[in-house]
Amino acid sequence: MSSTTTVSTTSTGTEPATIRMPRYHTSLVENRAFVPPKDFEFPAGLKQVPINPQGPTEVPVQTALDYSKDDIPEPLGPYEHVDCASRADPEKRALLSAIPKHKDMTPNIGTEVWGLQLSQLTNQQKNELAPWAAERGVLVFRGQDFVDQGREWLKEYGSYFGRLHVHQWGVHPKDTPELTVVFRDSDKGSYFDNQKEGQLNTVAWHTDMSYEINPPCTTFLSSLAGPECGGDTLYLNAMTAYDRLSPVMQKFLETLEALHSGTRQNLLSGKTNLARRPGIDTVHPVIRKHPVTGRKAIWVNPEYTTKIIGMRKPESDMLLNFLFDHLHKGLDFQTRVAWEDGTVVVYDNRMVQHSVTLDYGLGNGVKRHLVRVTPQGETPSLS
């Protein structure tokens, strides 16, 4: 069984802002044949696409089946994040001097790096990696032995950057809920196919789990396997998107808060995944500031942000749609990453948005597997 507790927070709008904090976890029953609860409402335009009942072909995964009620980590209450970037040399000399070759992918976002193993970084270099990822948005490290270090090592490594996020339903390697497995490898599709059913394209811009009280910060996404061609990840720079706005609009947006919904994500996943705990809905500022670089970024995304607090629905829809349109049309502050064996992408979830492209066909053994290490950052704020 599950239940939630409602906690009041501040809000600039007329509606009370709330954070619904999980207190108990859902009962953990095998969910091969999902039976919707009585109040289940599948979003219009979407329909069930069952997951491969055998699971991915190469990554050993279980979902909530690995848990008993007593050993589920409950990591998602508020936590005090101190970003390791605050200990960095602003010049990043320890890190940059160790890199034989790097090249910006575009002027506004993305840098590709060769010849340095992330696994070998000193703590000082990690301190400098975090602000570099924040400034460039996306760092693409090629030829890495990162995932070869093993699950325990990945957990320890990621924990240096923040408390590791445990997804509310995401698949993870067996006994390691602190790592998230991203996969699509059967001809029956996945959560992503659920989302895109009935749509004209597969793009779904978001920041990972923006509905959490402490959304992710410096994030590591590592490729395990991918299609011969396709399955790229798109990234956009939400700091540049903020900078492009007029001062009048910037000032207005800085007075606003928006609701981010994890319950909606649970609904989308509900027919194909196992619920680990109830999703939460959380109010965050529409503009947030990086705690170390001081850069501001637009902090609403179409996957999880459902409304502006205090606005009537048409007003909220109009403003959100304007911001989404601005973010997503800005090809001059976007880039895309084509995955290779050994690619690790380090991105700052606070400052960029991203989307997978499901432009490749399934069947004949085609698969796309990645592992994500997802440290949680500070609660978004403008200060």
**273-301 residues labelled b (16+ CB within 10 A) or e (exposed):** bbbbbbbbbbbbbbbbbbbbbebbbbbbb
Output the smallest distance, CB 354 to Fe ion, in A.
Answer: 6
**Comparison of 178 and 208: residue with beta carbon closer to Fe ion:** 208
- d(Cα 202, Cα 230) in Å, to the nearest integer? 12
Q: What angle do CA 128, 130, 135 make, to 5 degrees?
A: 95
With CB atoms as reference, the residue minimizing the distance to Fe ion is: 208
Torsion of CA 208, 285, 205, 344, to 10 degrees: -40
**Comparison of 111 and 233: residue with beta carbon closer to Fe ion:** 233
Output the smallest distance, CB 54 to Fe ion, in A.
Answer: 24
**Comparison of 112 and 208: residue with beta carbon closer to Fe ion:** 208
Output the smallest distance, CB 305 to Fe ion, in A.
Answer: 14
Output the smallest distance, CB 38 to Fe ion, in A.
Answer: 31
Output the smallest distance, CB 357 to Fe ion, in A.
Answer: 12
Find the part of the chain contacting Fe ion (CB under 5 A) among 46-54, 202-210, 282-290, 311-319: 202-210
Beta strands in the chain (DSSP E): 4-9, 17-22, 61-62, 101-104, 111-114, 138-141, 172-173, 179-184, 218-225, 233-237, 257-261, 281-285, 287-289, 296-298, 305-308, 334-337, 344-348, 352-356, 368-373
Find the part of the chain contacting Fe ion (CB under 5 A) among 37-45, 207-215, 249-257, 338-346: 207-215
Output the smallest distance, CB 52 to Fe ion, in A.
Answer: 20
**Comparison of 13 and 279: residue with beta carbon closer to Fe ion:** 279
**Comparison of 213 and 370: residue with beta carbon closer to Fe ion:** 370
- d(Cα 291, Cα 371) in Å, to the nearest integer? 27
Find the part of the chain contacting Fe ion (CB under 5 A) among 85-93, 201-209, 262-270, 291-299: 201-209
Output the smallest distance, CB 337 to Fe ion, in A.
Answer: 12
**Comparison of 208 and 281: residue with beta carbon closer to Fe ion:** 208
**Comparison of 125 and 273: residue with beta carbon closer to Fe ion:** 273
At 262 the three-state DSSP class reads helix
Output the smallest distance, CB 22 to Fe ion, in A.
Answer: 21
Find the part of the chain contacting Fe ion (CB under 5 A) among 105-113, 187-195, 208-216, 218-226: 208-216
- d(Cα 47, Cα 195) in Å, to the nearest integer? 9
Find the part of the chain contacting Fe ion (CB under 5 A) among 5-13, 27-35, 124-132, 205-213: 205-213
**190-202 residues labelled b (16+ CB within 10 A) or e (exposed):** bbbbbbbeeeeee
**Chosen residue from 208, 212, 232, 378 binding Fe ion by CB under 5 A:** 208
**Comparison of 135 and 208: residue with beta carbon closer to Fe ion:** 208
Output the smallest distance, CB 82 to Fe ion, in A.
Answer: 24
Are 209 and 305 in contact, with CB atoms under 8 Å apart? Answer: no
Complete edge-to-edge strand list for the sheet that includes strand 334-337? 334-337, 233-237, 352-356
Q: What is the DSSP string of 271-302?
A: TTS--SS---EEEEESEEE-TTT--EEE---T
**Comparison of 170 and 285: residue with beta carbon closer to Fe ion:** 170
Number of residues that bind Fe ion (CB under 5 A): 1
Chain residues in the site for Fe ion (CB under 5 A): 208
